[in-house]
Amino acid sequence: MVRVLTAGHVNWDVTLRVDRLPEPDGESRIDSQQASGGGSAANVAVALSNLAVDAELLGSVGDDEHGLLARRELEAADVDLGSLLVAEDAETTVKYLLVDQEGEVAVLGNDGANEAVSPDDVDPEAVRAADHVHLTSQRPDTAARIAEVAAEAGISVSFDPGRRLADRDFSDALADSDIVFLNDREARTVLEDEYTESAFADRTLVIKRGADGAVVHTPDATYEHPGFGIDPVDTTGAGDAFAAGFLSALLTTDDHERALERGNACGAITAAEEGARAAPSVEAVEAFLDEQF
């Protein structure tokens, strides 16, 4: 079985379904609310485990009730928590996700303990024990350290830096990444030139386009997939599910077209259900794809 180490944020999410996203001096109605684990690294780890990939999580939570609940959910999903730091006398990061009737999401959050892992806390042996390392948003120096250890050990690295890409210097981690995931907005932030002329031309670049699918640029070819027509309920975690589906396929088949199809299927299934942890099983993905053709 392929083993993937995912590194980055572990949160506790409070999802508020509202009639519309609030505007300045405006008011929105809360139709429902639910709480569960979240954070991109944790979401990807759970999604990979659902897809029959051996997943370990490198991240941090506080030693509070939210951290305990988050750990229990992850353990129930068979995610290895051997590299999860429990920060003493710290609060677990809580994110408030506002989801409108079209499934669009706005996020509020506190700093919390989700970046308590420093470069010195990274266990090189845990990194070297993986077949692949997947980085998500976290402290840039920590991401750089993990990527450095993986690169020196000849282990492939993927990086999905997320919405804070424009505000943080992830250049060192990006330099050691073999696969980079960006959405359209993030791609515009970092790519000023055509792909073939950019600093990303020697690696695989995956651009997520939401309902419009995704495109993959490799040094040798470009692949596109239009996505699947679904009615989104909650897009929270859909990008994480896409990354998990893409990686689970690519790491076992080395087929970029299959990886795109699986990634888009996982993203669509997740967006059609409530919550960031709606990523499907292998059987659910196959059943979904059978219905499309």
Alpha-carbon span 146 to 134, nearest angstrom = 10
Neighbours of 9 (CB within 10 A): 24
Q: Is there a contact between 180 and 187 (Cβ–Cβ < 8 Å)? A: no
Alpha-carbon span 233 to 196, nearest angstrom = 36
Which stretches does DSSP call E strand in the chain?
3-7, 11-18, 30-38, 54-62, 80-87, 94-99, 105-109, 132-136, 156-160, 179-183, 204-208, 214-217, 222-225
**Per the residue annotation, which of 78, 240, 254, 255 is the catalytic one?**
240
Alpha-carbon span 11 to 15, nearest angstrom = 12
Q: Is there a contact between 159 and 174 (Cβ–Cβ < 8 Å)? A: yes
Residues ≥6 apart with Cβ < 8 Å to 68? none
Tokens encoding 62: 């506080």
Q: Is there a contact between 41 and 10 (Cβ–Cβ < 8 Å)? A: yes
Q: Which amino acid is at 130?
A: A
Q: Which amino acid is at 199?
A: A
Catalytic annotation present for 31: no
What Å distances lie between residue 177 and 70, 72, 218, CA to CA?
28, 31, 13
DSSP code for 280? P
Sole residue written with tokens 């699986």: 262
Helix (H, G, I), strand (E, B) or coil at 19: coil
Q: Which residues are catalytic?
A: 240
